[in-house]
Amino acid sequence: MRDSADAIIIGAGVIGNAIAFELAKLGWQTLSLDKGPDAGSGSTSSSSAIIRTYYSVEASCALAYEGWHYWRDWAAHVNLPEGTPLIRYNETGCLVVKGPANKNLVNVCAMMDRIGCPWQDVPAERIADYLPGVDLQAYYPPKRPEDDGFCVPTGREIAGAVFFPQGGYVNDPKLAAENLKQAAEAHGARFLFRAAVAEMRQADGRTAGVTLADGRQIDAPVVINAGGPWSSKLNDLAGVTRGMNIATRANRQEVAYIPGPRDFDFGAKGYVYSDGDTETYARPEAPGVIVIGSGDPQCDPREWVDDPDALDTNFTDQWTTNVMRFAQRFPNQPIPGQAKGVVAMYDVSDDWLPIYDCSDLPGFYMACGTSGNQFKNAPVAGKIMARIVTACEDGHDHDADPLSFHLDRIDRSIDLSTYSRKRVVNPNSSFSVIG
């Protein structure tokens, strides 16, 4: 007997499960498929799970500020039975060092003012109040270890920093996906794991469902691609890639989990930290332990992954390079001799902004190209996709007349053409994980 649903959602990560939750609340019979063993077992489980409000594009700043409210009130958002294990959101605030990579945050702070999001200017001499032992020298532009001048100051001092009080990190990103799965199931959503999609079926010029690798067929008039690093392959299966101006690709990333600076317990007392001079970011993980990632400087090669199922999870010299760049700002940061952390993938779009959109195939929708910067936006992305799907299935032409979306918590509307597959590359983007 063939299975059926109102909508199939491919991908049970944090964004896919947020979509399932929002559609299920509207009465849709959803079936989420994932090739992994459980919720969030793909790229979500490797996320640094940072919650921040600063992006290089105003719509994304507004989206993130809206999303912060849901993480802060997570228990109310998922509304699960008492005693259910829930994620913990740690509100540390975010300290961002000014630098050429973020244009000294001038544009960011102007956008924060327009959306009503608080920020505080921090002169260079006060950065040590937040991060004791900090080195205020400038190092931009980042270099490779084989380049002359690697980790050598350029003779200037950084321009200061900005502190964003609304920010922090989620302690368990995989559990966030599980919480959203449980919340969706409470409204009738179904989930099927170890279910790889082999075919996107069509009938009468629109989506008809999928065929799984084991031959099972599932009928649905709506299919939503939330497949993360696998999303471009799924778009190819659906035959919608030619109708997209923005492409997506899987990108390999290395993130370090290491002991923090010797003179300051960054792991216990630190902030989410981003640096527009050294192009690194970090966050606390546990007492004595920090997470360090790259801001994707231009000098580093992009490591594209043609087959996400064949990801090389061994560390390379990029791990050491990232840690050494972080240590430029923190001279008492030890460089461990053994690499620890995660090797994972981003689902990167041409301009590092997401695609939340319909497609040229009626009934096929996509939430992809999330570029390592959309975990924090998942609760709102779920609502955005539910809005696009329901409107388009009711006959609205989102391409000809792009929808707007009202952000209830901050009382502001955004134009969803910002996230269209047919947009031109956004020149205001950071073209990095910052988004």
Same domain (yes/no): 238, 271? no
Contact assessment for residue 191 and residue 86, using Cβ atoms and an 8 Å cutoff: no
Please identify, among 345, 375, 408, the residue that sits at the C-terminal boundary of a domain. 345
Give the per-residue pLDDT at 210: 98
State residue 121 phi and psi, 5-degree precision: -75, 140
Using CA atoms, how far residue 14 sits from 41, 61, 69, 222, 414, in Å, is: 10, 19, 16, 20, 22
Residues 399, 258: one domain?
Answer: no
What pTM, to 2 d.p., does this model score?
Answer: 0.98
- Closest C-alpha to 349, from 255, 240, 173, 229: 229
Q: Is residue 107 one of the residues assigned to a domain? A: yes
Per-residue pLDDT of the chain (435 residues; tens, 9 = 90+): 689 999 999 999 999 999 999 999 999 999 999 999 999 999 999 999 999 999 999 999 999 999 999 999 999 999 999 999 999 999 999 999 999 999 999 999 999 999 999 999 999 999 999 999 999 999 999 999 999 999 999 989 999 999 999 999 999 999 999 999 999 999 999 999 999 999 999 999 999 999 999 999 999 999 999 999 999 999 999 999 999 999 999 999 999 999 999 988 998 889 999 999 999 999 999 999 999 999 999 999 999 999 999 999 999 999 999 999 999 999 999 999 999 999 999 999 999 999 999 999 999 999 999 999 999 999 999 999 999 999 999 999 999 999 999 999 999 999 999 999 999 999 999 999 999
* Rounded Cα distance, 176 and 375, in Å: 10
Residues 302 and 320 in one domain: yes
pLDDT at 155: 85
Residues 317, 183 share a domain? no
Domain region containing 74 = 3-85+172-247+351-419
| Domain total in the chain | 2
The pLDDT assigned to 2 comes to 82
pLDDT of residue 375: 98
Domain for residue 427, yes or no?
no
C-alpha dihedral, 60 to 62 to 68 to 70, nearest 10°: -100
**Contact status, residue 327 vs residue 290, Cβ threshold 8 Å:** no
8 A C-beta contact, residue 74 and residue 378:
no
Contact 231, 373 (CB under 8 A): no
In a domain, 429, yes or no: no
